[in-house]
A and B are shown apart, each in its own frame.
Chain A
Amino acid sequence: MKRKMKVFFNRGILSGICFVIVVLLIFVAVFAPVLAPCDPNVNDLRNVVKGISGEHLLGTDYLGRDVLSRILYGARISLYTSILAGALSAVLGILLGLVAGYFGGILNQTIMRMTDAILAIPALIFTLVLASALGGGVLSIVISIGVSLVPTYIRMVNGQVLSIKESDYVTAGKLIGLKNIRILLKHLLPNCFPSLIVLFTMNLGQGIMLEATMSYLGVGIAPPTATWGAMVSDGYSYLTTAPLLSILPGICIILVVVAFNVVGDGLRDALDPRLRGKL
C-alpha cells in the first residue's frame, strides 16, 4: 500500500493538484448541507443577480439564490449521478465484455455488433433520447448515462480479454486444470483492472459532463435542484452583466473532469505491480 501511494504521488505536481480537487469534490459533496451558508433553493427576489458581497460570498443568481450554496449542492448531484451511472455501466460492461471475449462465437458477435451500433450514435444524442424516453428525473439520468457508457467498457474489456486469453499464463492456467470461472475472475479481470480504473475515472468525468450538458439543455434533473449544468444555462443570459454566474459552475465542471482523467492515469500506474518500487 505504501509503495502504491508512493508511485501515485511521485507523478508530479499536476497529479497532486488533481488528487486534491477530487478529494475536495467528494468532501464538498458529502458535507454540502454543513458547508453551504444558505439554503440553495430559497429565492430572494429583492436581491437578484447581486455581485460578491459579505452576505453572499459568490453573489446571487436571477432568483436571488446564493451561488456558493448552489455550487456546493451541485457538486453533490454531479458526483452522485456520475458514480451511480459509472457503477451501473461498469458492472454491465465488464460482465458482457468478459463473457463475449472469453467464450467468443455467436455470443461475442451479438454483443459486439450491438456495442458497435450504440457507439455509432454520439453519446450525448443517445443519452438525451434515452433520458427523454425515460421521462426525466435523477433515476432516468443515471440509467441513460449508465447505458450510454456501457459500450466503452465492453470494448475495452473485450479487447483486453482477447489478447490476454492467448497469453501463456492463461494457457498454463488451463493446463494445470483451472476452471473457466477462475481464469476469468482471477487472471483476466485483474489484468484488465489497470485499464478499467482509468476508464472508470475518466467515465466519471464524462458522466459529469453528460449530466451537466443535459441539465444545461433542460432534459436533466428538474429545477429548482441545483446542478452545475443548469447554473451555466441559467447564467447565460447575464453573461455580459454577471459573467461569474455561468463561468464559476463552468470552471467547476472543467476542473473536475480534468482532475478525474489525471487521477485515473495515476491510479493505473499505482496499481501496476511492475511500476511499484521503480520510482
Chain B
Amino acid sequence: MSEPNILLKVENLKMHFPAESTWFGKPTRFVKAVDGLDFQIEAGKTFGLVGESGCGKTTAGKCVLRIFEPTEGKIYYQGTDISRLTDSQLKPYRRNIQLIFQDPYGSLDPRQSVGSIVREAVLADGKKRLDLDVKARVEELLTLVELDPSMAGRYPHEMSGGQRQRLGIARALACDPKLIVCDEPVSALDVSIQAQIINLFESLQKKLGLTYLFIAHDLAVVRHIADTVAVMYLGHIVEMMDAGELYANPMHPYTKALLSAVPITDYYTEQKRSRIVLEGEVPSPIHAPSGCPFHPRCQFATELCKTQAPSLKDQGGNHLAACHNL
C-alpha cells in the first residue's frame, strides 16, 4: 500500500531566544523554548500538542507558521523544507498554513468590519476577481463558520467571543489552507461555547479535508479532537501516542500527573484511581534542568535521571515515551 500522505514533518526543531547578552549584544544565555521536536502530521488528521503554559507550544506553532525562523531543525511542508526560506520564497506557502489565535478579539482589527476582514483575506492572494464573486465568497465563508452573512456590517466589539472565533476561522479559511495551527482556540471562551467551536473544527475538517496542529493545555479537549497526541514539557516531547492511548495507557510520569489533574465524572473510578500530584513549579526554560527535564518534579527520579536525558523510544504500538524507568 502507499505511504501515508505526510503533510507536515518536523525534525529536531529548536527555537532558542536570546535571554541575556554582553554589552556588545552577543547573547550569552538562551531561553530554550523549543528544544528538539520531532513529529509528523498526516494529511486530513489532527495532531494534538499538550502541555502546561510556557512549555513552548505556541513557539513551536509559530515556527511551523514561519512567524519565527527556527534556530535549528527542519520543517517539511509537503516534502519541501520551509525552515530557512526567505519571505519572498515563502510566498507560495504562506496562505497554505493558517493560524487560529488563542485570543480571538486580539486577532481582529478593531476598526474593521466583519465583511471587510473576510474580504481582505479573500483578496490578499492578489488574483483578479469580480466584485460579485468576492461578495459571494465572503457570504459562503461566513455561512461555513455558521455566522449569519447579515453580520457583515458589524464590528468585532459587537460580537460574542464565540462569534469572534468563528470570524477568525472564516478569515483563515479564506486562504484555502491545507494546514491550520489552532493555538488554544477555545481556552479563552466560555465552557458552553467551547464545545460548539470544537464541533465546528470537526465538521470543517470533514467538509474541507483540513489538517490541524491543535495546541491545548486541556487534555479532555485534545483527546476529543486529536488523532495523535504529543505531550510537551519544557521544550521537549516526552510522550507521543494515539489519542485513545492517552487516557487508557499513559506511560510517562508527567502525562500521568497531568491526567490525575483531570476530574473523572464517574465516582467509583475516581475513588479507585491513584493520583499523582505535580509538585513545584515548571522550571524556567533559561535554567533548564540537566538530564531529564522533568526530574526535579518527578517522584520516580533516580541518579541517572539527573545526568542523562532520556530519548523518545518506541514502547510498542506507535507509542513513544521518553523516560528511563519504562
Q: For the complex, what is the distance from the CA of A178 to the CA of B109, rounded to whole Å? A: 14
Q: List 20 A-B contacts (CB under 8 A).
A: A168-B107, A169-B109, A171-B67, A171-B99, A171-B101, A172-B99, A172-B101, A172-B107, A173-B109, A174-B67, A175-B67, A175-B99, A176-B94, A176-B95, A176-B120, A176-B175, A177-B124, A177-B126, A273-B110, A274-B110
Question: In the complex where A172-B99, A176-B98, A273-B111 touch, is A167 in contact with B106 (Cβ < 8 A)?
Answer: yes
Whether B155 sits at the interface, judged by CB under 8 Å, is yes
Task: Closest A residue to B125 by CB, please name it.
Answer: A177
Q: Is the CB of A177 within 8 A of B109?
A: no
Whether B226 sits at the interface, judged by CB under 8 Å, is no
Whether B103 sits at the interface, judged by CB under 8 Å, is yes
Question: In the complex where A175-B98, A190-B111, A273-B111 touch, is A168 in contact with B175 (Cβ < 8 A)?
Answer: no
Q: Is the CB of A178 within 8 A of B157?
A: no
Task: Closest B residue to A172 by CB, please name it.
Answer: B107
Question: In the complex where A176-B175, A178-B120 touch, is A168 in contact with B101 (Cβ < 8 A)?
Answer: yes
Chain B residues in 8 Å Cβ range of A187: 109, 112
Q: Which B residues fall within an 8 A CB radius of A? A: 65, 67, 91, 94-95, 97-99, 101, 103, 106-112, 120-121, 124-126, 155, 157-158, 168, 171-172, 174-175
| B contact face: mostly helix, strand, loop, or mixed | loop
Q: For the complex, what is the distance from the CA of A173 to the CA of B98, rounded to whole Å? A: 11
Q: For the complex, what is the distance from the CA of A164 to the CA of B94, rounded to whole Å? A: 21
Cross-interface CB contact of A175 among B65, B112, B155, cutoff 8 Å: B65
Taking each of A191, A273, A277, which has the highest tally of chain B beta carbons within 10 Å of its own beta carbon?
Answer: A273
Q: For the complex, what is the distance from the CA of A171 to the CA of B100, rounded to whole Å? A: 11
Chain A residues in 8 Å Cβ range of B168: 172
Chain A residues in 8 Å Cβ range of B157: 273-274
Chain A residues in 8 Å Cβ range of B125: 177
Chain A residues in 8 Å Cβ range of B110: 191, 273-274
Q: For the complex, what is the distance from the CA of A146 to the CA of B105, rounded to whole Å? A: 38
Q: How large is the interface on A (under 10, 10 to 19, 20 to 34, 35 or more residues)?
A: 10 to 19
Shortest Cβ-Cβ A-B pairs, 10 listed: A168-B107, A168-B106, A176-B121, A169-B109, A177-B124, A176-B124, A274-B157, A177-B94, A190-B111, A168-B101
Shortest A41–chain B CB gap in Å is: 48
Task: Closest B residue to A191 by CB, please name it.
Answer: B111
Shortest A188–chain B CB gap in Å is: 10
Taking each of B98, B108, B124, B126, which has the highest tally of chain A beta carbons within 10 Å of its own beta carbon?
Answer: B124
Shortest B163–chain A CB gap in Å is: 16
Q: Is the CB of A273 within 8 A of B155?
A: yes
Chain A residues in 8 Å Cβ range of B120: 173, 176, 178, 186
Chain B residues in 8 Å Cβ range of A172: 99, 101, 107-108, 168, 171
Q: Is the CB of B95 within 8 A of A177?
A: yes
Shortest A208–chain B CB gap in Å is: 30
Shortest A268–chain B CB gap in Å is: 13
Chain B residues in 8 Å Cβ range of A177: 91, 94-95, 124-126, 175
Q: Other than the known A171-B67, A176-B174, what 6 A-B pairs have Cβ atoms closer than 8 Å?
A: A173-B120, A175-B95, A176-B94, A178-B124, A190-B109, A191-B109
Q: Is the CB of A175 within 8 A of B111?
A: no
Chain A residues in 8 Å Cβ range of B175: 175-177
Chain B residues in 8 Å Cβ range of A169: 106-109
Shortest B107–chain A CB gap in Å is: 4
Q: For the complex, what is the distance from the CA of A169 to the CA of B116, rounded to whole Å? A: 13
Contact with B along A185-199 (1 / 0, CB 8 A): 011001101000000
Q: For the complex, what is the distance from the CA of A174 to the CA of B175, rounded to whole Å? A: 12
Q: For the complex, what is the distance from the CA of A251 to the CA of B266, rounded to whole Å? A: 78
Q: For the complex, what is the distance from the CA of A173 to the CA of B95, rounded to whole Å? A: 11
Shortest A267–chain B CB gap in Å is: 15
Chain B residues in 8 Å Cβ range of A277: 158
Q: For the complex, what is the distance from the CA of A173 to the CA of B106, rounded to whole Å? A: 12
Task: Closest B residue to A164 by CB, please name it.
Answer: B109
Q: For the complex, what is the distance from the CA of A108 to the CA of B219, rounded to whole Å? A: 44
Task: Closest A residue to B67 by CB, please name it.
Answer: A171
Q: For the complex, what is the distance from the CA of A190 to the CA of B158, rounded to whole Å? A: 19
Chain B residues in 8 Å Cβ range of A178: 120, 124
Q: For the complex, what is the distance from the CA of A178 to the CA of B45, rounded to whole Å? A: 28
Task: Closest A residue to B168 by CB, please name it.
Answer: A172
Q: For the complex, what is the distance from the CA of A190 to the CA of B112, rounded to whole Å? A: 10
Q: For the complex, what is the distance from the CA of A204 to the CA of B11, rounded to whole Å? A: 58
Chain A residues in 8 Å Cβ range of B106: 167-169
Q: For the complex, what is the distance from the CA of A186 to the CA of B171, rounded to whole Å? A: 16
